Amino acid sequence: MKYIEGNKEYISHYMNLDVFGDNQMSYDYYQILKRKGFSPIPVVQYGDDYQEWLDKYYHHGERFMALGGTVPVKNKWEASEWVRLLSWQYPEVKFHLLGSSSRKILDYCDVYSVDSSTWFMMAIMGKPNHIKGTSRLAKLERAKFNLRKELELVV
């Protein structure tokens, strides 16, 4: 909260702290921020009890929500079906997908935004290997290459 308050001229959106597998605790963090006068984007984790939490946030007037917990789901079609269902149930809500840039999800679902560290992690691990070196600059060049390739700007 101190960081957001101290940098509010640079920050347009932020999320409450989310706890993987615990929508109640994520909601508690959301409530703390709201009571302190902040406007976080609420986070709902993939799992059995997601509907209850989506409804709570929706009834609080939230129309921009983040979806978490899809990264460890091995069956990306299952995760994409979940995201599609939510988009259908809440057509006026903009959804941000946390930590996932799976093509199976992105090509199949209508999400407002996503974030992922895939391209940077590949770069840190030395891929593509035609860009040599372990320096920060080499890692950045690999990350840019990976991102452009993912965006189909490089063949």
What domains appear along the chain, each with residue ranges and CATH number? 2-116 (3.40.50), 117-155 (no CATH)
Q: Answer whether residue 111 shows pLDDT above 50.
A: yes
Mean pLDDT over 46-64 rounds to 89
- The pTM of this model reads 0.72
* Residue 80 confidence class, pLDDT cut points 50, 70, 90: confident
Calculate helix-pair angle for 76-89, 50-59, nearest 10 degrees: 30
At position 36, the amino acid (one-letter code) is: K
Q: Tokens at residue 71, please?
A: 């990264």
- For residue 16, give every residue at least 6 positions away whose Cβ sits within 8 Å of its Cβ, in sequence order, or none: 26, 29, 30, 32, 33, 40, 41, 42, 43
Instruction: Report pLDDT for 150.
Output: 65
Residue 62 to residue 106: CA distance in whole angstroms: 23
Instruction: Report pLDDT for 19.
Output: 80
Q: Answer whether residue 3 shows pLDDT above 90.
A: yes
Instruction: Report pLDDT for 155.
Output: 42
Instruction: Report pLDDT for 39.
Output: 95
